[in-house]
Amino acid sequence: MTLTGQVTNAANQSDLGGNMFPVEAEIDAADCEVIGEIPAGLRGSFVRNGPNPMFEPIGKYHMFDGDGMLHGVDFADGTASYRNRWIKSRGLGAEIQLGKAVYPGLSDVMNFPDASLVNDAGPVKNPANTHIVRHAGKLLALWEQGLPTEIAPNLETVGEWNFNGALQGAMTAHPRIDPFTGEMFFFAYNFFAPFLTYYAVDATGAIVKQVGIDMPAPVMMHDMLITENYSVFMDSPIVFDMDGLANGESMVKWKRENGTRIGIIPRLGDAEDVRWFEVPTSHVQHFWNAWENGNRIEITGVRFEEVDFGIEAEGSEKESGVETNAGSPARYWIDLEKGTAGSEYFDDFNGEFCRFNDDLTGRETNCLYMSGFTRPNADPGDFDTVVKYNTTSDTRTMWYSGDNGHLGESVFAPDPNGSAEDDGWLVNSFHDSGTGKSEVIVLDAQRVEDGPIARVQIPQRMPFGFHANWFPS
Ligand SMILES: [Fe+2]
């Protein structure tokens, strides 16, 4: 079945402006035009997830709300092909039947559609629009408040995956996969105690551990970490406001007085094994990596002093009091023996979307990639610069994509014949707001400052999105 988008009107919807406006067609394009040369060793698929609402939204639309759409570029033998597909969620299926949107966005999420309209699709749509990972042979499109959605290699939707019935709740969009053992670790946050549930999945894809973890408040936790022996969480004060949620007001509030703590649990441990460590009040939306260093756990990520995701009801006054909304690269650490922890920035450049060579997940990492902001007063999420840190040599290298350039997440694709941590390429999406055209670009990860070595011309605009991944073939 060919799907066609129905959104025609972006008026009064700030999150549908410019390149946030959805595309209406699913297309397949073989042998895309390439400027430059695709490296012979780059073989596999780059897949990026993001919102692409099919129907005119009802009420205030937030970028977090849109139906997921996957944009995939397959690289093989120096050529590239492209396809894009909506994620056919149960909720979207109900709306297709009705020919219109019936699910409100997050700002009015408790205003459930009438059950008779959506049948078994449930009261809240799971748009699966945030990330895509591959574990135990399954591609999983992720949205942090619902089940993962299984995706076929051709990007068609298989359906929600509940680990053979073992997962009743949600799954974060940022699980961590240990490349050495093949295990996957993830969490869900909950509106009612226990506010955190932790899961371990073995290399065959079976959930082997589920632990309810007590926390003082329900928080919007987005990412986690693993080391060789521990899973690591940050409890920061982005607190769900249950009254606000029920009243259709602000869904989350920054409650500075709650402070920030980092928790660790042995990877297959139990609730009583959890240890918490106070750190300066701050938030990390996306971490790079964590690893063990003697008695210490070292953590890298982009640190925010406070955050505001703009999830408010239409017409409500902002209550967060948040003034700055930009993060910079930082280290956190825990001293397991002394029971102390801390944090320091290692650069003041603003950026987000932390990525590294995933083959080193849970092990010491020194090459860190980030999407950054060179242009002053950029909107959060409107990245213009590819940034690389080498923390061994304490250097930063960058490529600025130009005054009309807009970037996504820099995904690291390792060179299968390489040995150094940064032997490989960065694959990212690029949009030129002057021409309206989109590209998927390839940079040599050892020479980021040289800019793209290959620019795949995508024959249809790619709206801004969220996370991407590299799946070697
Ligand atoms: Fe994320």
pLDDT for the residue 176: 98
Handedness of CA 344, 350, 352, 355 (dihedral sign): negative
Task: Report how far ligand 1's centroid is from the alpha carbon of 131 (Å).
Answer: 7
Q: How far apart are CA 426 and CA 39, in angstroms?
A: 12
This prediction's pTM: 0.95
pLDDT for the residue 321: 45
CB 311 within 8 A of CB 274: no
Task: Report how far ligand 1's centroid is from the alpha carbon of 106 (Å).
Answer: 17
**pLDDT at residue 364 above 70?**
yes
Task: Report how far ligand 1's centroid is from the alpha carbon of 99 (Å).
Answer: 30
Task: Report how far ligand 1's centroid is from the alpha carbon of 389 (Å).
Answer: 20
Task: Report how far ligand 1's centroid is from the alpha carbon of 117 (Å).
Answer: 31
Task: Report how far ligand 1's centroid is from the alpha carbon of 173 (Å).
Answer: 6
Q: Which has more pLDDT, 323 or 207? A: 207
Query: Based on the number of CB atoms within 10 Å of its own CB, is 187 exposed (0-12), middle (13-18) or buried (19 or more)?
Result: buried
Task: Report how far ligand 1's centroid is from the alpha carbon of 223 (Å).
Answer: 7
pLDDT category, 377, cuts 50, 70, 90?
confident
Task: Report how far ligand 1's centroid is from the alpha carbon of 143 (Å).
Answer: 9
Cα distance from N-terminal residue to C-terminal residue, the chain: 27
Dihedral over alpha carbons 451, 455, 460, 463 (to 10 degrees): -30
Task: Report how far ligand 1's centroid is from the alpha carbon of 467 (Å).
Answer: 6
- Determine the average pLDDT of the residues in 395-415: 98
Give residue for tokens 């949600």.
170
Task: Report how far ligand 1's centroid is from the alpha carbon of 186 (Å).
Answer: 13
Q: Which of 260, 306, 110, 267 shows the shortest CA–CA distance to 191?
A: 110
Task: Report how far ligand 1's centroid is from the alpha carbon of 348 (Å).
Answer: 21
pLDDT category, 252, cuts 50, 70, 90?
confident
Per residue in 134-151, pLDDT (tens digit) is 999 999 999 999 999 999
Token readout for 181 is: 């053992």
- Determine the average pLDDT of the residues in 219-238: 97
Handedness of CA 211, 357, 44, 285 (dihedral sign): positive
Q: How far apart are CA 140 and CA 153, in angstroms?
A: 10
Q: How far apart are CA 174 and CA 224, in angstroms?
A: 7
pLDDT for the residue 107: 80
pLDDT category, 108, cuts 50, 70, 90?
confident
Task: Report how far ligand 1's centroid is from the alpha carbon of 353 (Å).
Answer: 7
pLDDT for the residue 314: 47
Task: Report how far ligand 1's centroid is from the alpha carbon of 285 (Å).
Answer: 7
Neighbours of 225 (CB within 10 A): 27
Task: Report how far ligand 1's centroid is from the alpha carbon of 36 (Å).
Answer: 31
pLDDT for the residue 109: 80
**pLDDT at residue 38 above 90?**
yes
pLDDT for the residue 315: 46
Per residue in 109-132, pLDDT (tens digit) is 888 999 999 988 999 999 999 999
Please, which residues have CB within 8 angstroms of residue 433's CB and are 6 or more apart in sequence?
18, 19, 404, 406
Per residue in 429-467, pLDDT (tens digit) is 999 999 999 999 999 999 999 999 999 999 999 999 999
Task: Report how far ligand 1's centroid is from the alpha carbon of 37 (Å).
Answer: 30
pLDDT category, 355, cuts 50, 70, 90?
very high
Q: How far apart are CA 313 and CA 85, in angstroms?
A: 30
Q: How far apart are CA 468 and CA 49, in angstroms?
A: 6
Q: How far apart are CA 159 and CA 141, in angstroms?
A: 10
pLDDT for the residue 11: 82
- Determine the average pLDDT of the residues in 246-251: 69
pLDDT for the residue 318: 45
Per residue in 50-67, pLDDT (tens digit) is 999 999 999 889 999 999
Give residue for tokens 């309209």.
117
CB 215 within 8 A of CB 196: yes
* CB-facing half-sphere around the CA of 405: CA atoms within 13 A: 24
Task: Report how far ligand 1's centroid is from the alpha carbon of 206 (Å).
Answer: 24
Task: Report how far ligand 1's centroid is from the alpha carbon of 6 (Å).
Answer: 27
Task: Report how far ligand 1's centroid is from the alpha carbon of 76 (Å).
Answer: 28
CB 224 within 8 A of CB 243: no
Task: Report how far ligand 1's centroid is from the alpha carbon of 1 (Å).
Answer: 30
By percentage, how much of the chain surpasses pLDDT 70?
95
Q: Which has more pLDDT, 90 or 323? A: 90
Task: Report how far ligand 1's centroid is from the alpha carbon of 144 (Å).
Answer: 9
Task: Report how far ligand 1's centroid is from the alpha carbon of 127 (Å).
Answer: 15
Report the alpha-carbon angle 62-63-67, nearest 5.
Answer: 105
Q: Which of 202, 207, 199, 242 shows the shortest CA–CA distance to 224?
A: 199
> What are the DSSP E strand ranges found in 176-274?
176-177, 184-189, 196-201, 207-213, 225-226, 230-235, 238-240, 252-254, 260-266
Task: Report how far ligand 1's centroid is from the alpha carbon of 197 (Å).
Answer: 18
Q: How far apart are CA 390 and CA 404, in angstroms?
A: 28
Task: Report how far ligand 1's centroid is from the alpha carbon of 321 (Å).
Answer: 23
Task: Report how far ligand 1's centroid is from the alpha carbon of 9 (Å).
Answer: 28
**pLDDT at residue 357 above 50?**
yes
**Average pLDDT of the chain?**
94
Helix (H, G, I), strand (E, B) or coil at 389: strand
Task: Report how far ligand 1's centroid is from the alpha carbon of 174 (Å).
Answer: 6
pLDDT for the residue 311: 56
- Determine the average pLDDT of the residues in 301-314: 76
